[in-house]
Amino acid sequence: MLSNATHLKGLVIRATDGELGTVDQFYFDDETWAIRYLTVETGGWLGGRLVLISPFSVVHTDWPSQAAGCGADEKAG
């Protein structure tokens, strides 16, 4: 499914035990244009750092509430 990546920017990423942060940027595969990583600006638990999240770790997306569930937890790092 093709979609505009700007719809993902600002999406809240929720872990199994709390909110990780919001999607900030993307890393693309230069041959296939597939998203390889999402950069997530974290909240208080990592002090506002950027972390890389694999798009395969996103297990569901709730578009009306602009949130996505991630299979990891905050302590996974």
* DSSP conformation letters of 49-68: -EEEE-GGGEEEEEGGGTEE
Of 6 and 38, the structure prediction assigns the larger pLDDT to 38
pLDDT at position 40 over 80: yes
pLDDT at position 73 over 70: no
Give the pLDDT of residue 2. Answer: 54
Q: d(Cα 54, Cα 75) in Å, to the nearest integer?
A: 16
pLDDT band, residue 23 (cuts 50/70/90): very high
Of 72 and 31, the structure prediction assigns the larger pLDDT to 31
| This prediction's pTM | 0.75
Mean predicted confidence (pLDDT) in 20-44: 89
